[in-house]
Chains A and B, each alone.
Chain A
Amino acid sequence: MSELVITLMRFGFLIALWLAVLAIVLVLRRDLAAPREARPQAAGGRLPTPSAPPVPPQPKAPRGAGRSSATPRRLVVVEGELAGTVIPLGTSPVTVGRAADSTLVLKDDYASSRHARFFPSDGQWIVEDLGSTNGTWIERTRITGPTVLRVGAKVRVGRTTLQLQR
């Protein structure tokens, strides 16, 4: 067999191998780009975690606002080790977590150091999860962003439940 044929076979195979690798990488690239377009459709019915119980979309800002005209005045711990603690609400935000500088310091394995924050906005109180491990829950819904609280709503942080009262 001539030297030329041997060289052609050598290079030919390497080209074929790399074409296969490139084909795979091209498919991979399309797959990497695709989720950005496909995600909005999929995101609608998607649960944040499979353990989260199924619930209809939580009531967002507009609904809670019209329900009660009275502004909430206190945050009460209704369940957990600190049950009975009352935090008067003014204009400053309230932080909850295991960190010593929190407004409400929890001694709870299931709470994060900086777990959740309550803050006023236009006469309403809003709760926000600060990237906690176990999440912040309103009734049985895990919140995914800042959420307006109705008066009487129960917020669960770890093993502690807080209620917004008038």
Chain B
Amino acid sequence: MSAPVVPGRQVEPGRSDQPTRRGVELALLVLVWGVGSLAMVLASEGAAGEVVPEVWRVVAISGVVLLGLHLVVRWLAPYADPIMLPTAAALNLLGIAMIGRLDLAAALRAQANGTDPPPSDALDQVLWLAVGAIAAALVLLVVRDHRMLRRYTYLWGLTGLVLLLLPMVPGLGLTIRGANLWIQVGPFTFQPAELAKVVLTIFFASYLVQTREQLALVRHKVLGLGVPRGRDLGPILVVWAVALLIMAAQTDLGTAVMLFGLFVGMLYVATGRRSWIVLGGLLTVVGGLLAYALFGHVQVRVRVWLDPFAYATEAGYQIVQSLYGFAFGGMMGAGWGRGYPQLVPFAENDFIFSAIGEELGLVGSVAVVVLFAVLIQRALRTAHASRDAFGALLVTGYAIILGLQVFVVLGGVTRLIPHTGLTTPFMSAGGSSLLANWIILALLLRVSDHARRPDPVIVRPDDATTEVVARP
């Protein structure tokens, strides 16, 4: 299908010993779906004392959607990595189970107050999983060979910046909780920054593949560090600086941190120069100090991080409740539905991991961390096996995004680092994030399919196809 057919080589179609491992994927998917369904049933049982009918609807929809996506992968990317899809599905299902559990807590609270129960976030989330799976299928269908993405380098860069700018368009933008990150079209709200990270990674990868040699080799010495020429670094620096400025204007620090890390990480991987790490580290310190000096909410976050219990009833309430949650969960957790994760404000978004920590304990949260680690390892492994530099860089970029996001979120809720608002990939409630992550997963599957696809069998006309008819 997309195997490189080069003149002079003959490809024998359909014959190879390379296992596709789709059966393994299906088995893991069924297992993971079973565990996810068990989580949803137990959560409902624990939180409401009965299995509410909604649970069965969510279980059925997620089963159908995941099976459908598996069949699409079977058809469009038969050699793709068998682990990535089940791992992402596991994280997503655990997230849905926890969101459903928080729904029930909210419904009970509404009942106690005599108000109408809020709409179900879990049902929304599983519908967004369906949307994400359809988007992933479309990506697999349209992008038959990831190298075609390279054709539109600057268009991707421009698209990324436009997406970042969209919330600032008057009439379209929407400000929620002090951050101007959303756009509203009819009844739908969307966070375009999530899609921007997907698109900007394509731009970075595509641009760096073109220029990495010049970036790595042609350098001026400045202060003992080799610095590349302006014309090599210029375009990417412009896109990056504009992206950071936009995010500073929108006070979206989490995405800024992620994009900066992505930029430095990809430059390092593309050029193999350690000086980028040094430079990136220095710029992080400078940027951090600058953000601290300029933005009031950053100062609040840092103060809360250093001494949360001094602000336990105000700015530190969320993180303090999160820490209490982890403590209450202890080693084995309180059990599904038997903790109080609803006490953490926005537990279904930024703090879903502390809800997991409370109800599943250290043992359960480590399982979640392992699932993230496996997903990132698979992405890096795909980059390693990739036959083209663009595919390798693209996949590395997505691995960096996932890794950074998980680190920033998990570090934030456990008070390892100051808390910055980012979603937990695949787990947090929120359609934009889920959609973007499933698109990323589709691209990972596409590159890994390309990397694991067996080489075309070479038949050289002179020795393989020439038969000796008669010997004189």
Contact = CB atoms under 8 A, between A and B. Distances in A.
A16 B83 contact: no
B218 interface: yes
A23 B28 contact: yes
Contacts of A20: 28, 31-32, 35, 90
A139 to B, nearest CB: 15
Contacts of A68: none
Nearest to B456: A45
A79 to B, nearest CB: 19
B367 A24 contact: no
A18 B32 CA distance: 11
Contacts of A10: 332-336, 338
B455 interface: yes
Contact of A9 (B42, B87, B364, B371): B42
A18 B363 contact: yes
Interface string B310-337: 0000000000000000000000111110
Interface string B438-472: 00000000000000001111101000000000000
A150 to B, nearest CB: 21
Contacts of A45: 455-458
B222 interface: no
B83 A28 contact: yes
A38 B19 CA distance: 10
A17 interface: yes
B112 interface: no
Nearest to A25: B374
Given A24-B374, A109-B218, A38 B18 contact: yes
A23 B24 CA distance: 10
B307 interface: no
Contacts of A133: 213, 216-217
Interface stretch (B5-13, B255-263, B298-306, B344-352): B5-13
Given A10-B332, A50-B388, A27 B83 contact: yes
Interface in A100-116: 109-110, 112
Contacts of A28: 83, 374, 377-378
A4 B273 CA distance: 58
A161 B457 CA distance: 33
Contact of B389 (A21, A25, A49, A56): A49
A21 B387 contact: no
Contact of B387 (A14, A38, A47, A110): A47
Nearest to B384: A35
Contact of A17 (B35, B82, B378): B35
Interface class of chain B by DSSP: helix
Interface string A31-70: 1000100100110111101100010100000000000000
A20 B31 CA distance: 6
Given A21-B367, A45-B456, A16 B217 contact: no
B374 A56 contact: no
B8 A54 contact: yes
Contact of B38 (A16, A21, A25, A112): A16
A23 to B, nearest CB: 6
B213 A14 contact: no
A17 B39 CA distance: 9
Contacts of A134: 213
A42 B455 contact: yes
B4 interface: yes
Given A20-B35, A54-B8, A9 B335 contact: yes
B86 interface: yes
Contact of B370 (A9, A13, A21, A42): A21
Contacts of B217: 109-110, 112, 133
A24 B7 contact: no
Contacts of B28: 20, 23-24, 27
A50 B335 contact: no
B319 to A, nearest CB: 26
Nearest to A133: B213
Interface string A109-148: 1101000000000000000000001100000000000000
A13 B44 CA distance: 14
A156 B166 CA distance: 50
Interface in B28-48: 28, 31-32, 34-35, 38-39, 42, 45-46
A46 B455 contact: yes
B251 interface: no
A24 B38 CA distance: 18
Given A9-B335, A133-B216, A133-B217, A31 B83 contact: yes
B364 A14 contact: yes
Interface string B39-68: 100100110000000000000000000000
28 contacts: A9-B42, A9-B335, A10-B338, A13-B42, A14-B333, A14-B360, A14-B363, A14-B367, A17-B39, A17-B360, A18-B367, A20-B31, A21-B370, A23-B28, A23-B31, A24-B32, A24-B90, A24-B371, A24-B374, A28-B83, A35-B385, A38-B18, A45-B457, A47-B387, A49-B387, A109-B218, A110-B213, A110-B217
Interface of A: 6, 9-11, 13-14, 16-21, 23-25, 27-28, 31, 35, 38, 41-42, 44-47, 49-50, 54, 56, 109-110, 112, 133-134
Interface of B: 4, 6-9, 17-18, 21, 24, 28, 31-32, 34-35, 38-39, 42, 45-46, 81-83, 86-87, 90, 213-214, 216-218, 332-336, 338, 360-361, 363-364, 367, 370-371, 374, 377-378, 381, 385, 387-389, 454-458, 460
Q: Which 7 A-B pairs have the closest CB atoms?
A: A10-B335, A45-B455, A50-B388, A54-B6, A20-B35, A109-B218, A45-B458
